[in-house]
Amino acid sequence: MKKIGLFVFLLLGLIILSLYVQPDVSASELTTPEIILVPAGTFQMGSEEFYNAKPIHEVTLTNDFYIGKYEITNQQYAAALNYAWSKGYLNKDELSEKAKRRRASGVSKSPQPYQDVFDEDSGITFEDGVFRTLPGRENLPVVEVTWHGAAFYCNMLSEQEGLTPLYNLDDWSCQVYGKTGYRLPTEAEWEYAAQYDDARKFPWGNEVIDDTRANQGNKDKASPVAFPVSVGSFSPKGDSKLGISDMAGNVAEWCNDWYTDYYYNDLNQTDPVGAGKELFFNAPVLKTFFVGKVLRGGSFLMDPNFRKGMGAPFITDTVIHPNVYNNQFRSYDYLSRNVEGFRVVKTVATDKTEEVFSSPDK
């Protein structure tokens, strides 16, 4: 009888313990983003209207590619972080309560911060070893995510599908073409998809941007929509010709390229991947230099006084420039902020696809 009582006690203990075990972060939880085919083609890239979008040059993209219909959401990014946590891909020390700055960051020869989970603007939290989205923010685009965090998410998607991750996390180079997998869009791919195939000024056409087409032009916390809204909220009126949502407004989107103040090389380019680390920005507050990454599309915020007292690097064209929603306008940043997110691209290699890489040292 004592043995039966002990067995029942242990069984009840196991049942209670199971209620507190971290939920399984299986492959099925990382849902594949909805993607749209972008056919290969040739277009005129750049604009004489903006100082950093010169010169206008012809670009040929020889490969079809798929681009995310929507920006990546908090729910999708949290699922990727849970998967990464289960695999040991995240720095546990920086997520501990004793960390000087708690955030999700990586482990590699060149470890980088990925997402400011504990920032007041983040829609993701981390408690009891689990990343969760805040109630009501599941379908809002993820923010406070760095370029490295966006690239890391792409690697997690590739790994989940049994594909080779395209980013090398030790040196942050990327195999842009030549393998099947997920990555960030090149700047050329982003602009091509946005203006496909008639050189339109905005994703929906040449009509001036307004509140019926995009989440845009708001002052910080001065409007009911002065923050990101659920992806696709302005669809279909604000969609591109190919049916891509939120390419203007909501959150500015990371591209794969390092930023420079001009377009380089020939006036006729094929499958360009941008420059390497050529332009450095001094951030006196942080006592270091940074290299910028390209951002496109503008965000929900248009406030010249946004964090004005903090100076650089917290004020960039991403936030305050009146033409930021134009398909040809170029922005940059090198931190993570509440106005920046991303969408993914999937490339499908064939026997005819030539290998092309992007690298910091290009």
pLDDT 10s digits, 246-290: 999 999 999 999 999 988 777 899 999 998 888 777 777 677 788
pLDDT tens profile 95-111: 999 898 899 999 999 99
The reported pLDDT for the residue numbered 2 is 44
In three-state secondary structure terms, 28 is: helix
Q: Phi and psi of 16, rounded to 5°?
A: -65, -40
Contact 292, 252 (CB under 8 A): no
The hierarchical CATH code for the domain 31-358 is 3.90.1580.10
In three-state secondary structure terms, 76 is: helix
The reported pLDDT for the residue numbered 334 is 87
The reported pLDDT for the residue numbered 222 is 54
Q: Phi and psi of 174, rounded to 5°?
A: -145, 135
The reported pLDDT for the residue numbered 308 is 65
Q: In this model, does residue 159 exceed pLDDT 90?
A: yes
pLDDT tens profile 31-47: 899 999 999 999 999 99
Strand segments (E) across the chain: 35-38, 41-45, 57-61, 65-68, 104-105, 113-115, 124-127, 130-133, 174-177, 181-183, 252-258, 268-270, 280-283, 288-291, 293-296, 331-333, 340-341, 345-347, 356-358
Neighbours of 361 (CB within 10 A): 7
* Spatial separation of the C-alpha atoms in residues 66 and 35, rounded to whole Å: 6
Q: In this model, does residue 29 exceed pLDDT 90?
A: no
Q: In this model, does residue 315 exceed pLDDT 50?
A: yes
More confident site: 299 or 290: 299
pLDDT tens profile 176-219: 999 999 999 999 999 999 999 999 999 999 999 999 999 998 77
Amino acid 59 reads V
Contact 103, 116 (CB under 8 A): yes
Confidence at 320, pLDDT banded by 50, 70, 90: confident
Contact 37, 64 (CB under 8 A): yes
What's the average model confidence in pLDDT over 126-135? 96
Nearest to 356 by CA among 182, 158, 178: 178
In three-state secondary structure terms, 81 is: helix
Confidence at 7, pLDDT banded by 50, 70, 90: very low
Tell me the whole-structure pTM to 2 decimals: 0.90
In three-state secondary structure terms, 108 is: coil
Would residue 178 be called left, alpha or beta, if left means φ above 0 and alpha means ψ between -120 and 50 degrees? Answer: left
Q: How large a percentage of the chain has pLDDT more than 90?
A: 71
Helix H segments across 180-326?
A: 187-195, 317-320
